[in-house]
Amino acid sequence: MDVNLAENSENALGEAEAPADVAFAAEPITGVDLPPAPPSGVRDIEAPPEVRTGPPKRLSPSSASTFQQCPKRWKMRYMDRLPDPPGQAALAGTFAHLVLEHLLQESTDQRTIENAKLLARKCWPEIETDKDYVALELDETEARHFRWISWKAIEGLWTLENPQEVVVEATEQLIDAEIEGVPFRGIVDRLDREPDGLVVSDYKSGKAPRPRYVEGRLAQVLLYAAAIANDLGERPRRARLLYLGQRTVEAEVTDEALKIVAADLKTTWSSMTTSCESGEFEANTGPLCGWCPFIAECAEGTAEVRSRLDRGMMRLDAPAVAVVAPLPTQQPA
Ligand code: SF4
């Protein structure tokens, strides 16, 4: 599950009011055998832990998407390795993803809401002790809200499908493949077998896109489909985004669709390589500067946010606003 910045900034689930607590924090249960869990936190399958000086060995969809959005941001994230901790909504999405991964590995008769609750309780200690969760420093009310939005995302799967009817071929499938000469790496959330062939599915906990953004959002799963076709030798029939609790967005995997996303990937890879060689990374300013975690390091982004504030074109709850134009400290009377 990829949770991108734009999704975080408009996460509808995160804005809802939290009802009574969801008891994830109860005593760990026994009797449920879990397969090994993937690393917690938002997955970064491309960047090594150290500062990098050249282009990546393999390109992941999230890295490509960051570079397309802003090359300077990509440099700070993937080359300079500046800290970019996931926010609350992204971490809640990671938790939901972890639970659903385990759930879909169960036999079909075990894929029930009741079992999802048990799995959530089983997985909760891993999230609760994750350094990114600890860094959020949530008070009890906020922690309850976090558990609630996580559970709404998990439960949201039943809005989209009956998991007992899904024929799962693989979950968390690591794919390494060349796409149009670009070394590509991705982790596919779920690969399903339907009567007419394979279907690539990716869970999303952010807000489902408006129609004009659907095509762009589907690029990631279409790239997965291209990679699977190259790596496994069977082309998936459909690529699907499961917006938990909302709706499913999908595309037929056609020659034309694959050609478009592969060409975009190739262009991004070529620009990235050129930037790494020249050391020049364009600052692509825009409304998303308001949500850029590197705003304090970026003069162009700071100027953009200030200008948008002056013109009343920046949401005041955008995190960068507090960095660029902090409220004056109240003096005691
Ligand atoms: S603040 Fe804006 S221009 Fe600067 S790195 Fe971030 S997204 Fe790019």
* pLDDT (tens digit per residue) in 78-110: 999 998 888 899 999 999 999 999 999 999 999
The model's pLDDT over 224-234, given as tens digits with 9 standing for 90+, comes to 999 999 988 99
- 145 C-alpha to center of ligand 1: Å? 30
- 280 C-alpha to center of ligand 1: Å? 14
Structure tokens at 65: 């998407």
- In DSSP notation, 189-220 reads EEEEEETTEEEEEEEE-SPPPPHHHHHHHHHH
Structure tokens at 24: 């994830």
- When pLDDT is cut at 50, 70 and 90, the band that residue 10 belongs to is very low
- When pLDDT is cut at 50, 70 and 90, the band that residue 29 belongs to is very low
Say which residue, 187 or 18, is predicted with more confidence: 187
Domains (ranges, CATH) in the chain?
A: 5-39+69-161 (no CATH), 165-278 (3.90.320.10), 287-322 (no CATH)
Q: What is the mean pLDDT of residues 192-209?
A: 96
List residues near ligand 1 (CB under 6 A).
Answer: 70, 72-73, 283-285, 288-289, 292, 294-295, 298, 300-301
Is residue 5 scored above 50 in pLDDT?
no
Pick the atom of ligand 1 nearest to 301's CA: 1
CB 217 within 8 Å of CB 61: no
- Mutating to test ligand 1, I would choose from 284, 306, 307, 321 the residue with most ligand atoms within 8 A of its C-beta, which is 284
Q: What is the mean pLDDT of residues 258-277?
A: 96
CB 26 within 8 Å of CB 118: no
- When pLDDT is cut at 50, 70 and 90, the band that residue 54 belongs to is confident
Q: What is the mean pLDDT of residues 317-323?
A: 93
Pick the atom of ligand 1 nearest to 283's CA: 3
Q: Between vectors from CA 186 to CA 192 and to CA 188, what angle results, nearest 5°?
A: 20
- 43 C-alpha to center of ligand 1: Å? 22
Pick the atom of ligand 1 nearest to 285's CA: 3
- 73 C-alpha to center of ligand 1: Å? 5
Pick the atom of ligand 1 nearest to 69's CA: 7
Is residue 193 scored above 80 in pLDDT?
yes
% of the chain exceeding 90 in pLDDT: 78
Q: Considering only CA atoms, which of 44, 34, 11 is closest in space to residue 153?
A: 11
By alpha-carbon position, which residue is closest to atom 7 of ligand 1?
A: 289
Is residue 249 scored above 70 in pLDDT?
yes
The model's pLDDT over 305-317, given as tens digits with 9 standing for 90+, comes to 999 999 999 999 9
- 288 C-alpha to center of ligand 1: Å? 8
- When pLDDT is cut at 50, 70 and 90, the band that residue 19 belongs to is very low
pLDDT for residue 6: 37
- 320 C-alpha to center of ligand 1: Å? 10
pTM, two decimal places? 0.83
- 137 C-alpha to center of ligand 1: Å? 26
- When pLDDT is cut at 50, 70 and 90, the band that residue 42 belongs to is very low
d(Cα 148, Cα 23) in Å, to the nearest integer? 9
Is residue 43 scored above 80 in pLDDT?
no
pLDDT for residue 22: 55
Pick the atom of ligand 1 nearest to 293's CA: 6
